[in-house]
Structure 1
Amino acid sequence: MRRSPFYARLYGGALVGLVLVFPFASLIAMAFKHAEISRVENRALAQMPGWPRTRAEWDSFPQRFDAFFNDNFGLRTLLLRLNSNFSTVMLGRSPSDKVVFGHNDWLFYAGDNSIELYRNQRPLSSLQLDNTRTALQRRVGAMQAANRPYLFVVAPDKHTIYPEMMPTYMSRRDPPSQLDQVVAIAGAAGLPVLDLRAALRAGKADGQVYFKDDSHWSDWGAYLGYRRIMAALPLPGLPVLDLDARQFAVPADHAGDLAGMAGLSRREPTRVAQVPADRCAFTATAFQHVGDDIAVRRTFCPQAKFKIVFVGDSFTDGLVKYLSRSFGEVVYVARSGFKPSRQIVPLIEREAPDMVIEELAERHLDSLADTVAPDGR
């Protein structure tokens, strides 16, 4: 009987050993693992389900335990990292279906139907447009009844401002985009919708307005959005920060959300503004949850006047350092998605602000229509 060469037996033994050892190592690592946020995937990992007490909990227990095990088995992070490195270096593509590699190492968000939106493949239907108009009219009507100005601001998606950095193979249909449609119906109905696209596109000549590794605007881009918002407000005598691109010279780096989703450990060099020392060292409170998917924090600037409520999403983070220096008090309301009027208006009434500003990312514009219930509430 012919014996296998030594190196072949060694390789086979090592492979068998690895197959046997890996499950035990995974279980040991899992036993000492705590629930956490997955920075690679930008989401909370599934929690260990509690002991079922009802029939419904028994029915869903297998699925909930499976989700927990898949999220928390030992060495998961190592495997995700190896997959990321192999996909990025060897295959030249993102290991995440939520990230697209563009030109010159630019990353773009692909979740929430963003690619279809970029390609203008998801126009709003006539019914959606009618419901969008109704949703905004309800907000405006409630604010007018309380004699409060209202402004709705759309934060453009990164691919809208940097389409030249998107992959060449992604063809696009002719406009209108969803944002074009919403701006058009708002203009026809006299609704206060602010479109920031022109200001951000013009600002590209003086600096990068969105991060390469992140889905959000840079410090320079956020400032341009702030200036455009301030110019649209009807409140008199507002102190407005007056900066130019040369003042965005403080070196910094940024860990982008898209780089994290793609499993990349790189940090993007950037530059932030040096705000004049005499412009209100505002104070801020921590976020407090006040309802389902709604949290509130406040900033105070004693040198300024007026109280506003600013309802927004993650794009708001870049605006805080500017807006907080222009108002006596800003109540920042962080919410997930566009909430129906019945969830937001009572909060605003309790705060009694001088004005309400609401911001929404472009990719979530279709959520406006979803807040209009079939029964008309």
Structure 2
Amino acid sequence: MTEAYITGQNGYVFWGDIQAANFSQSVGRRFLSPEELERWRSYIQELDVSLAAEGIELYVAVTPAKWGVYPEELPAWADDITGSGPLDQLMAAGSDLPLIDLRQPLREEATENAVYSRVNSHWTDYGAYVGWNAITDCIVANQPEMAALQPIPSTGVLLASDQNEFANYGVVNPVPDWTVPDFSGLLRPVTLTKAGEPSVLEDGSTRTGLESLPARTTTEGAQSDQSVLMIRDSFGSSLSVYVQQAFQETNQVRHNFDGDPSQQPDVMTLANAYRPDLVILQIAQRHLNFPPAS
């Protein structure tokens, strides 16, 4: 796919292959070779074992691509060629790995409220809220001592201004659909510290964007008095709002699987420096296109 974007059904727009072989992944044309699959499996397994030796739990949350939640909105001509892709391969090969597949809870919620926008490849703030609640369900099920992690009470779903990734191509959203949860002022302020900069007090609804990483946050009165090391990408921006309400301290670092391998963080070095209570590795589904260096 040489096109920058592909128009689907009902106004949905998807990146073409200029973004991590995105469309080829969506229809099962880009899949992992046995060697690539083993690189992912080995990377996660070795990290899990190493962290466990330090008494630290690992959770790998693969945040779905829009087409992973709304496959029915792909163009009609793709129906006959759509197949499984890298995430399906990894889930099948990694039954012993701490993987969290968020597609089903998001698909279920999508029948009631938008969790992705037609004109953005990322989940909405509400989609991230649904995703985070599913992640905490897994954490609490695995670690009952983390029962303080609970969904932030929301009084409803609101619409915010469009975040149109495709505006430069002349794409217009036919239906406002950037959803946000209504917390009615329940979010606690967050102290954000970026590398080399003074700390600032932010409203609890403020995202920690990719451009702010690496970053440390502290939240007085968070759900738990524990800390998390979060290795993440741009999907973690919306997610950061809820993570920062859940943990007294977060340290957030970009994973860089989609960039220069020399810039990928040494998770164990970071874990030994920060001594978090758990590590969350958040990976966008499309970034499975970039297996870690062997």
Range class of TM-score, shorter chain: 0.7 to 0.9
- Residues 294 and 334 of structure 1 are in contact (CA less than 8 Å); yes or no, is this contact kept in structure 2? no
Specify which of 146, 163, 176 is matched with residue 236 of structure 1: 146
For 2:246 and 2:34, how far apart are their aligned partners in 1?
39
| Counterpart-to-counterpart distance in 1, 2:61 and 2:107 | 16
When normalised by structure 1's length, the TM-score is: 0.65
Superposed displacement of residue 300, structure 1: 1.4
Identity %: 24
Aligned to 1:213: 119
- How far apart are residue 106 of structure 1 and its match? 1.4
TM-score of the superposition, structure 2-length normalised? 0.82
Residues 1:116 and 2:24 aligned together: yes
Q: How many residues align?
A: 268
In structure 2, the partner of 1:146 is 54
Instruction: Check whether the contact 1:150–1:192 (CA below 8 A) recurs between aligned residues.
Output: yes
Cα displacement (A) at 1:334 = 2.1
What residue is the counterpart of 2:279 in the other structure? 356
Kept after mapping to 2: 8 A contact 1:220/1:273: yes
Q: Which has the higher helix share?
A: 1
Secondary structure of the residue that 1:314 maps to in structure 2?
Answer: coil
Equivalent position SS for 2:240: helix
Mapped to 2, the partners of 1:98 and 1:177 lie a distance apart of: 20
1:324 equivalent among 235, 244, 251: 244
Rate the CA distance shift 1:279–1:112 in 2: closer, same or farther, 3 A. closer
Gaps of 5+ in 1: 1-95, 373-377
Task: Compute the displacement of 1:97 (Å).
Answer: 2.3
Report the counterpart of residue 48 of structure 1 in structure 2.
Answer: none
Equivalent residue for 1:367? 290
Match of 2:157 among 236, 245, 248: 248
Deviation of the 1:294 alpha carbon: 9.8
User: In the aligned structure 2, how far is the partner of 1:145 from the partner of 1:206?
Assistant: 42
In 1, are the aligned partners of 2:116 and 2:178 still within 8 Å (CA)?
no
Contact 1:301 1:325 in 2 (8 A): yes
Q: Distance in 2 between matches of 1:180 and 1:231?
A: 21
**Structure 2 residue identity aligned to 1:309:** L
From 187, 190, 197, the equivalent of 1:282 is 190
- Cα RMSD after superposing both structures: 2.6
* 1:132-143 matched pairs, under 5 angstroms: 132-143=40-51
Tell me how far apart the structure 1 counterparts of residues 27 and 80 of structure 2 sit (CA, whole Å): 4
How far has the Cα of 1:278 moved from its partner?
4.2
Q: Which residues in structure 2 correspond to 1:30-179 (within 5 Å)?
A: 97-110=3-16, 111-173=19-81, 175-179=83-87
Q: Write the distance in 2 (CA, Å) between the matches of 1:202 and 1:217.
A: 14
The residue type paired with residue 220 of structure 1 is: Y
Aligned 1:8-47 pairs, distance under 5 A: none
CA contact (8 A) 2:136 2:149 kept: no
CA apart distance, 1:277: 3.0
Q: Contact (CA 8 Å) 1:108, 1:258: kept in 2 or not? A: no
1:315 aligns with 2:235: yes
Q: Which amino acid aligns with 1:356?
A: V
SS of corresponding position for 1:363: helix
Whole-Å Cα distance in 1 between the matches of residues 257 and 165 of structure 2? Answer: 19
Conserved 8 A contact 2:194-2:212: no
Q: Deviations over 1:9-56 (max 9, x none)?
A: xxxxxxxxxxxxxxxxxxxxxxxxxxxxxxxxxxxxxxxxxxxxxxxx
Please report how far the alpha carbon of residue 311 of structure 1 lies from its aligned counterpart in structure 2 after TM superposition: 0.8
Partner deviation per Cα, 1:224-269 (whole Å, 9 max, x = no partner): 100011111125232423445x5112x4202322334x24476945
- Work out which of the two has the higher radius of gyration on C-alpha atoms and give 1 or 2: 1
Aligned counterpart, 1:192: 98
